[in-house]
């Protein structure tokens, strides 16, 4: 069996997710992961398996049934949102034991997929107002920074309506999401910048290198140069900046 994993690093990304953690003694946890606005560096109880299903920004609210700003920067036991469905899913996952063979892994993923499908069939599915416009704004902000007022005008809604839509459907404000998206784009390039941080900062739309450094300290908790040296975040720097809907990531 793969040795237990003892550290988890997570950068802010504006996405929500569902996470199953399996521990060596056979117990486990099922957590709703809210959109993060700051980096998380933790050393949890060592686990042997983690299955994370990520939802693209603006896509997770039907599965959680609450405005996503309610769980922003939080890890919430899934049963607080799902009740008995979460208990049944966790029981099904734990019944498969701690084996990591492909057939067992497929059975775990199938159980999670069934539970997610059941959430979508809920008779009173949560659907915040202007969620579709929030997703349109996400697509715009993921590719390039834009003044929020101009973005709201282009979508034919007020700034206030856009903020409300983002709070419910994405879990963070439009301004926060734009900062996170720009940070993620730059974070993917820092390791290969080779001392050209001032040039990288200008290209990304930061006022100067000091502005870039300040954003890294606020969002990642470290300077850009320190971030580039942290091997534990290599997979975060090279991954797609924003998760796709229902993208399952398995760590073992």
What is the sign, positive or negative, of the torsion defined by CA atoms of 39, 179, 69, 241? negative
Share of the chain above pLDDT 90, in %: 56
Instruction: Give domain status of residue 2, yes or no.
Output: no
The per-residue pLDDT of the chain, averaged, comes to: 85
Q: Which whole number is the average pLDDT over 88-103?
A: 96
Whether 78 and 48 map to the same domain: the answer is yes
The pLDDT score that the predictor gives to residue 98 is: 92
- Which pTM value belongs to this model? 0.81
The string of pLDDT tens digits covering residues 47-72 is 889 899 999 999 999 999 999 999 99
Q: Does position 222 have pLDDT exceeding 60, yes or no?
A: yes
pLDDT digits (tens, 9 = 90+) for 120-143: 998 888 888 889 999 999 988 877
Kindly state whether residue 87 falls inside one of the protein's structural domains. Answer: yes
31 inside domain: yes
- CATH number for the domain that contains residue 165: 1.10.10.60
Find where tokens 């067992």 sit.
Answer: 104
29-43, 47-61, 199-213: segment of lowest average pLDDT: 29-43
- pLDDT value, residue 5: 53
Instruction: Supply the pLDDT for residue 244.
Output: 33
Question: Is there a single domain that holds both residue 74 and residue 25?
Answer: yes
Q: Higher-confidence residue: 48 or 3?
A: 48
Rounded to the nearest 10°, the torsion over CA 40, 44, 47, 53 is -30
In a shared domain, residues 191 and 119: no
**Residue 203 is part of which domain span?**
131-238
Are residues 136 and 34 both part of a single domain?
no
Does residue 152 form part of some domain? yes
| Residue 140 resides in a domain | yes
User: How many domains, in total, are found in the chain?
Assistant: 2
Q: How far is CA 184 from CA 46, 130, 193, in A?
A: 27, 26, 14
């Amino acid at each position: 069996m793969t040795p237990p994993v003892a550290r988890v690093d997570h950068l802010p990304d504006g996405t929500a997710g569902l996470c199953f953690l399996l521990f060596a003694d056979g117990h486990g946890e099922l957590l709703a992961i809210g959109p993060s606005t700051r980096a998380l560096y933790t050393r949890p109880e060592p686990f042997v398996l983690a299955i994370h299903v990520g939802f693209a920004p603006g896509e997770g609210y039907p599965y959680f049934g609450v405005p996503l700003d309610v769980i922003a920067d939080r890890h919430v036991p899934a049963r607080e949102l799902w009740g008995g469905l979460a208990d049944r899913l966790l029981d099904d996952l734990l019944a498969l034991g701690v084996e990591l063979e492909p057939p067992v892994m497929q059975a775990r993923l199938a159980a999670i997929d069934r539970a997610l499908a059941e959430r979508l069939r809920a008779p009173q599915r949560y659907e915040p107002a202007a969620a579709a416009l929030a997703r349109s704004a996400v697509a715009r902000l993921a590719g390039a920074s834009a003044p929020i007022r101009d973005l709201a005008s282009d979508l034919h809604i007020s700034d206030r309506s856009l903020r409300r839509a983002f709070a419910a459907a994405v879990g963070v404000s439009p301004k926060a999401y734009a900062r996170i998206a720009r940070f993620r784009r730059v974070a993917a390039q820092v390791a290969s910048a080779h001392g050209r941080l001032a040039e990288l900062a200008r290209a990304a739309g930061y006022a100067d290198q000091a502005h870039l450094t300040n954003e890294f300290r606020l969002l990642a908790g470290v300077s850009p140069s320190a971030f580039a040296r942290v091997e534990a975040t290599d997979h975060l720097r090279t991954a797609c900046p924003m998760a796709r809907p229902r993208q399952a990531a398995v760590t073992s």
